[in-house]
Amino acid sequence: MSAKTIMIQGTASHVGKSVLVAALCRIFKQDGYRVAPFKSQNMALNSFVTRDGGEMGRAQVVQAEAAGLEPSVDMNPILLKPTGHASSQVVVLGKPVGNLSAMGYHTDYAPKALAIIEGALNRLLAANDMVVIEGAGSPAEVNLQEHEIVNMRIARMAQAPVLLVADIDKGGALASVVGTLELIAPDDRARVRGIIINKFRGDISLFQPAVKFLEEKTGKPVIGVVPYFQGFRVQEEDTIPEDRSRAELVEEQGWVDIAVVNLPHISNFTDFDPLEDEPDVRLRYVSKGSNLDEPDLIILPGSKNTIGDLAFLNRSGLAAQIVEFYRRGTPVIGICGGFQMLGRELNDPLHTESEIPRLDGLGLLDTSTTFAPEKITTQVEAEVAGSGLFLCETSDNRINGYEIHMGRTELAPDVRPAFTILVRSGEKVFFPDGAVSPDGLVFGTYIHGIFDSDSFRRRLINTLRRRKGLEPLQASDTLLVHEQRERDFDKLAAVVRSSLAMEKIYGLLGMEGPICHG
């Protein structure tokens, strides 16, 4: 074992483990080390496709970007994608191996996965100076401890000291720390070498008595108190962003309103982060019981259970609302599963995704989708092929993205595709993707990440602006996705570095500290 290791575990889910791992990856990179993230098992519907076609959790992709590395499935060897009640698709080293119930996975498959996890971890250890490991949920889930493969068992495998994170913004942070340490085995308790309090608001001096209490009660040092940071974004693992009022929208410039339908099995909602970060966009996630209001654009996102989520749209009345808005002239875009829902029909004869064998689609595109067991996971380069409201062909009409889908969609003879895929997994191809309606108001695509393209995204937003009688904004006044993400990683690193006792963390790693500054 060549690389040093450290592990971030939490007192519960959503305490900020993923973001703190990303912060440490950027800090160690800035300090001159080659560092990689690792999470043995991730349960998430936000996923990504690597250059070689492997599927992995989006959180580890973000952490890899923070570390300055290309994502690898070794960073997340086991990915669980929930498909319904107490069942998930199991993705191992980037490839799906089938759907398993929660009981079947924990008792039968998880123990067999340890060798796969250890192999992936060892490859990262051999290629890096250090590996920052993320746990999942809480190590104190006594009902899961016997079969878990993501918390203390991995800490022991990696010989990693553990930092325990609690979210004080939710309340009960002190009790959760004390209770977690009480419920884990003595040997694992000894492996916890420090405590991090996350998402703190207010005057830090008023929290010092709590720090003293925790250290005296647990015998563990509080390594730092991280503030609730605002003003920059690091992509979340699996939490829909709260609807923001966007007070910073510039009224004199005006803004456009985009409604994303929040499906029960929504996947890859990070597709829409670049839209939300634009200065003239109000992006909302609309759920059952929510009002679509009067959006300038409706987006149907990806789904891990497309037919099930389409049935939800029908039951909730959202399907009828979407069709009615289209008839009144509101444009609609579908990504992956959302694209499939826009068609005439969806067929699942082998019950690949659902127990429902067939369901009528929204009928906004003349297409038919049939699900199949084989999963397509590939990075792509494409160009605009369709026409209409958003798909005008220009000198700069290339996009990069990735596909993750199990359906095959057939277009009626007179339907034009939205894009043409020119490169798939590094090989030149010429393959149609998606579809666009004859009136140009509706288009769908299998390609995730199309809004990461700065020029395509800005043209789309400016088209919406013109429809509202607003002047278009110049690209120089708006977001550049890659540059913004790099700035946000640096801002995150600065906040976390100033909040944690980094000299103590280096001490836990057995290292003297930075080898360079920058």
Compute the distance between CA of residue 467 and CA of residue 376 in angstroms, rounded to an integer: 36
Catalytic residue among 25, 265, 405, 448: 448
Compute the distance between CA of residue 441 and CA of residue 460 in angstroms, rounded to an integer: 12
Residues 390 and 460: beta-carbon distance below 8 Å: yes
Which tokens belong to 100? 């398993």
Contacts of 118 (CB under 8 A, 6+ apart): 157
DSSP for residue 201 = -
Compute the distance between CA of residue 230 and CA of residue 242 in angstroms, rounded to an integer: 13
* Tokens 């068992």 found at: 153
Selection from 364, 343, 361 nearest residue 411 by Cα: 343
Compute the distance between CA of residue 116 and CA of residue 181 in angstroms, rounded to an integer: 29
Q: Where are the beta strands (DSSP E) in 137-270?
A: 162-167, 192-200, 222-227, 256-261, 266-267
**How many Cβ atoms from other residues are within 10 Å of residue 217's Cβ?**
12
* CA triple 405-378-431, angle to 5 deg: 85
Residues 17 and 10: beta-carbon distance below 8 Å: yes
Strands 367-384 and 398-411: antiparallel
Indicate if 14 belongs to the active site: no
Selection from 400, 361, 405, 381 nearest residue 268 by Cα: 405
Catalytic residue among 25, 265, 336, 405: 336
Indicate if 516 belongs to the active site: no
Residue 298 φ/ψ, nearest 5 degrees: -115, 135
Which tokens belong to 275? 């839209």
- For the annotated catalytic residues, the residue numbers are 336, 448
